[in-house]
Amino acid sequence: MNRVTLMGHIGRELTIKYTDKQLAILNFVVATNDGTKDKPETNWHNCTAFGKSAEVISKYFKKGSKILLEGKLKHSSYDHKDGTKRYKTDVICDKFEFIDPKSKTESMSFPSSENDPFSAPTPDVDFNSDEIPF
């Protein structure tokens, strides 16, 4: 299973881009804190969001905003202009939440796919316990 959960702060101002087919793409950096109180350590994570998620993040978050996100790791490589091979790891963001206490909104969750059956709210159903087949 390839699953990542991060909670941290957006590390730079957000700039959304669009493909020729108008797919929104947002590349951003999230800083997480590790280590101890005496020796804090900041880790920087490259993240990418697509579509509606990219648009919502770029609209409502800014540099310094706290975010909780879920996604999967994607590893890639490229040839640098000096001829060396470079490796990059990105978190492809599937879901995210506002967690900044300064925000006037309550914690809001936005799944990136409307077709995700696990992220859709479960409708209230009235049923009689006699109707259950087991």
Of 96, 99, 21, 94, the C-alpha closest to 57 is 96
DSSP code of residue 96: E
For residue range 3-22, what is the model confidence (pLDDT) as tens digits?
999 999 999 999 999 999 99
pLDDT at 100 (0 to 100)? 66
For residue range 59-117, what is the model confidence (pLDDT) as tens digits?
999 999 999 999 999 999 999 999 999 999 999 999 999 886 654 444 444 454 444 43
126 contact partners, CB below 8 Å, separation of at least 6:
none
Q: How far is CA 88 from CA 11, 38, 71, 125, 129, in A?
A: 17, 30, 16, 47, 54
Span between the terminal Cα atoms of the chain, in Å: 33
Q: Which residue has the tokens 């209230």?
A: 124
Annotated domain spans of the chain:
4-115
Q: Which two tokens stand for residue 100?
A: 């900044």
DSSP code of residue 56: H
Find out if CATH 2.40.50.140 is the number for domain 4-115. yes
